[in-house]
Amino acid sequence: MGSNKNFPTALVAHSDLEILRMALRAHLHQPAIGLWRATEFIMLRDLDFPSPVLDFGCGNGEVARSVLRSHWPIDGLELVAAEARVASTSDTYRYVMQGSGVQAPVTSDVYGAVYSHSVLEHIPDDLGAIREVARVLRPGGRFVFTVPAPAFASRIMREHGNETLEMVNRRLGHYHYRSIDEWTECLDNVGLDVVMVRGHLPAATQRVWLSLDTLMVRRFRGRRVLDWIRGLRRRGLIPDALWIALWSGLLWRSFKRPVDDPGGYLIVAQRRL
């Protein structure tokens, strides 16, 4: 199933501003998600991935198109059948499997890298998913994943209260906010050693994200703002280039905030030989 060559991400030659625009292009209807993704993409920019790669929880393939389009082969695994169908039409993947992350329809010891972008926090049995990742990785293979950190939840709790945090968790489908120590122990238990941790989503950026995300799901005349935006774009009333340029300018300052107490982690772990 492919070679053992390592490949850089498709982000490697892009400036910070280009990465912000790339993230916004991948999430044209929801600039709040684009802002969050851009903070993750910056952390991923200089990584390399041994092939073949499994995109674990690939969604519709938009994130992999930004990060991994320079790699081959890439396979996708997605639980939601409709998302898997969309991803399978992309030229990003060799093939896309529809199935559960805790019982992946994949042979053991076959992937040089598993990539999971903001997925594990949505899986109730995240430890079962990690066991599957360890199973499908080759000895020496890499697990690269992003997840929200405990600070993400504690900031919302501190600034807006428990009711707002519960609402955000329900809407986003978040089940877990594990610390680095917890992740290190969980990964160690399945034979994976943490080799790198980086933080993303600084506090000031998260505040902008939450305000913008709240605006986008607010209802106006019975429809969410983001649904109005989708409709206007479908009718060609909001040109994509103008839309991206507008939001790049509006979000640039918050995007470039230094990472203090991170609201999210990029973690790289390696399977023991």
Per-residue confidence band for 4, with pLDDT thresholds at 50, 70 and 90: low
Residue 109 DSSP symbol: T
Domains and CATH numbers, the chain: 6-271 (3.40.50.150)
Handedness of CA 91, 95, 98, 103 (dihedral sign): negative
Q: What are the pLDDT digits (tens) for 209-219?
A: 999 999 988 89
CA 238 to each of CA 28, 212, 218, 233: distance values in angstroms, whole numbers, following the listed order? 10, 18, 20, 5
Give me the pLDDT at residue 257, please.
Answer: 87
User: pLDDT tens across 23-74, in order?
Assistant: 999 888 889 999 999 999 999 999 999 999 999 999 999 899 889 887 789 9
What is the chain's mean pLDDT, rounded?
A: 92
Rounded CA-CA distance 64/42 in Å is 14
Beta-bridge partners for 197: 267
Residue 259 has pLDDT above 90, yes or no: no
Residue 268 is encoded by which pair of tokens?
A: 């790289």
pLDDT, tens digit, for every residue of 100-137? 999 999 999 999 999 999 999 999 999 999 999 999 99
Q: What is the mean pLDDT of residues 246-251?
A: 94
